[in-house]
Amino acid sequence: MDAWPRCLERLEAEFPAEDVHTWLKPLQATRRDDTTVLYAPNAFVRDEVRSRYLTRIRELLGHFSGSAEVALEIGSLPRTNMDTLPVIAHAPAAEAFHGNLDSHYTFENFVEGRSNQLGRAAAWQAAQKPGDRAHNPLLLYGSTGLGKTHLMFAAGNQMRRQNPSVRVLYLRSEQFFSAMMRALQDRAMDGFKRQFQQVDALLIDDIQFFAGKERTQEEFFHTFNALFDGRQQIIMTCDRFPREVDGLEPRLKSRLAWGLSVAIDPPDFETRAQIVLSKARERGALIPEDVAFLIAKKMRSNVRDLEGALNTLVARANFTGRSITQEFAQETLRDLLRAQMHSVGIANIQKTVADYYGLQIKDLLSKRRTRSLARPRQVAMALTKELTEHSLPEIGDAFAGRDHTTVLHACRQIKHLMETDGKLREDWDKLIRKLSE
Ligand SMILES: Nc1ncnc2c1ncn2[C@@H]1O[C@H](COP(=O)(O)OP(=O)(O)OP(=O)(O)O)[C@@H](O)[C@H]1O
């Protein structure tokens, strides 16, 4: 797939770096007969690429590959197709370690909040004293799109800033896997292993991918031990706590937890709003606070979607020459917001809350007022108010015909309690996360 990198290079010269970073770099290319298939990670990227860049992409691909046929789809390359980094394929020279870290992601543009404070502090410490036993290995875990890779890059970039000769190698777990497979085929395992001896820090993303791959785990286990013994810093990310990943060997699980493991949780409302404002500043777009609040209120599943909504808004404003007001934001994001809201129905909320607290739905809806039932019931009503567009009377109806004042009381009560009750706050965040997945 030679034409795409060349095409991207051209596009980088023709469009602002920020746009290339946001819209074009996330595309993955492959070939289907005469057609170049471009995979976009989500609908925002696909739509923007289609409306703003596709014509130019067609021209460039026609020029470089002889065929201007392009299919733009949502998806990603099958994992086994992932290219390995050249740094892994050949014995790397020191300069090979430059370029595999995305310099865009730093501590400066990472917004700190309650949900990621510890993770940020740990990544910062690892960057200050790579290899220190207090945070080696460092494992950042949490669900998708919450900034784990951002923090990992930030740590790597910070290490380099402090010491430009430091060798930091970033690999997605799939790349480790494909490089190892290639080395096995080529009978070049010695070279494969040697490469890791040369690094000062290995950053390895999404290690849940190792689940069920015994040979890869074994190899990673040895790599890990060698790095650890050599006091080289290891930073890893995983989509959940490794002990909960089925198909990871117990000895690897226990190794992973040797240093420091930190959860990254979904950001709260204030942090989400700050992230929107910060990303807007980065893009050179001015958006009023009330619009940032609107996006933060509606988009709660993960930061990637939050960013997607902002990007759509900014792109549309640039395109139409309109300024970003609350009304414009409502209008532009309407479909998006509707899709978000529709995906969460009252029945779904009731079931999720009942399961979470180990109750039956009929208990949740019953008239019984024991505390063990009343609190989850209030949580369910408050969540329904928060996540759907239903009115208070409609919510009351859906909770076995309760009065709208009962629903209002539940919402106020939960909001009030969450200010002091950490456990309730945690339950709330977890439930929001489950319902937004
Ligand atoms: N606190 C934050 N401040 C600024 N940007 C953030 C923050 N959290 C997440 N982001 C942004 O959200 C996007 C997704 O983050 P990232 O890729 O790091 O997520 P992830 O947790 O590694 O997800 P995955 O598990 O899917 O790889 C990035 O553009 C990142 O910059």
Q: Give pLDDT tens digits for 141-177.
A: 998 889 999 999 999 999 999 998 888 988 888 888 8
146 alpha carbon – ligand 1 mean position (Å): 5
């089925």: which residue's tokens?
246
Exposed/middle/buried for residue 425 (C-beta within 10 Å: 0-12, 13-18, 19+): middle
Residue bearing the bigger pLDDT, 378 or 173: 378
Of 303, 306, 307, 433, best ligand 1 pocket probe by most atoms within 8 Å of the beta carbon: 303
pLDDT at 300: 77
| Model confidence, pTM | 0.66
With bands split at pLDDT 50, 70 and 90, how would you rate the model's confidence at 94?
very low
* Residues with C-beta less than 6 Å from any ligand 1 atom: 105, 110-111, 116, 144-150, 206, 237, 239, 275, 303-304, 307
Q: How far is the CA of 308 from the centre of ligand 1 (A)?
A: 12
Nearest residue to 242 (alpha-carbon basis) of 151, 155, 139, 118: 139
Q: Can you give the pLDDT at residue 429?
A: 82
**Nearest atom (ligand 1) to Cα of 267:** 1
What is the distance in A from the centroid of ligand 1 to the CA of 292? 18
Q: How far is the CA of 266 from the centre of ligand 1 (A)?
A: 10
pLDDT category at 341 given cuts 50, 70, 90 is: low
Confidence of residue 335 (pLDDT cuts 50, 70, 90): low
Say what percent of the chain tops pLDDT 90. 39
Q: Does pLDDT of 1 surpass 80?
A: no
- Ligand 1 centroid – CA 194 distance (Å): 31
Instruction: Write a three-state SS string for 140-158.
Output: EECCCCCCHHHHHHHHHHH
Question: 213 alpha carbon to ligand 1 midpoint, in Å?
Answer: 26
For ligand 1, atom 4, the nearest C-alpha belongs to 110
Ligand 1 atom nearest to CA at 303 = 12
> Which residue's CA is the nearest one to ligand 1's atom 9?
147
Give the Å distance between the CA of 62 and the centre of ligand 1.
34
Structural tokens at position 62? 């026609």
- Residue 148 among known ligand-binding residues: yes
388, amino acid identity: T
Dist CA 352 CA 348 (whole Å): 6
The mean pLDDT of 20-38, rounded to a whole number, is 85
pLDDT score at 87:
40
**Nearest atom, ligand 1, residue 140 CA:** 21
Nearest CA to ligand 1 atom 23: 145
Distance of CA 203 to the CA centre of its chain: 16
- pLDDT score of 91 more than 50: no
Confidence of residue 410 (pLDDT cuts 50, 70, 90): very high
Residue 149 is assigned to a ligand binding site: yes
pLDDT, average across residues 32-42: 85
pLDDT band at 254; cut points 50, 70, 90? confident
Residue 278 CA: nearest ligand 1 atom is 4
Closest atom of ligand 1 to CA, residue 110 = 3
Q: Which atom, in ligand 1's list, is nearest to the CA of 146?
A: 21
Confidence of residue 85 (pLDDT cuts 50, 70, 90): very low
- Distance of alpha carbon 94 from alpha carbon 97, whole angstroms: 6
List 172's β-bridge partners, or say none.
205
* C-alpha pair distances (Å), 187 with each of 176, 182, 190, 193: 16, 8, 8, 12
Q: Specify the residue with its C-alpha closest to ligand 1, atom 15.
A: 147
Listed in sequence order, the residues at least 6 apart from 336 whose beta carbon sits closer than 8 Å to its beta carbon are: 309, 312
In this prediction, residue 196 carries a pLDDT of 85
User: Quick one: pLDDT at residue 151?
Assistant: 97
Query: Residue 313 is encoded by which pair of tokens?
Result: 């808004």
Residue nearest to atom 6 of ligand 1 (CA): 147
What are the residue ranges of helices labelled H in 24-172?
A: 43-48, 54-65, 86-89, 117-128, 148-162
Output the CA torsion sign for 73, 74, 78, 81: positive
149 CA → ligand 1 middle, Å: 6
User: For the residues 247-272, what does the mean pLDDT come to?
Assistant: 90
Q: How many Cα atoms sit within 13 Å of 270 on the Cβ side?
A: 5
Strand 138-141 relative to strand 168-172: parallel, antiparallel, unpaired? unpaired
Higher pLDDT among residues 197 and 109, named by residue = 109
Ligand 1, atom nearest to 153 Cα: 18
Give the closest residue (by CA) to ligand 1 atom 14. Answer: 145
From ligand 1's centre to the CA of 148, what distance in Å? 6
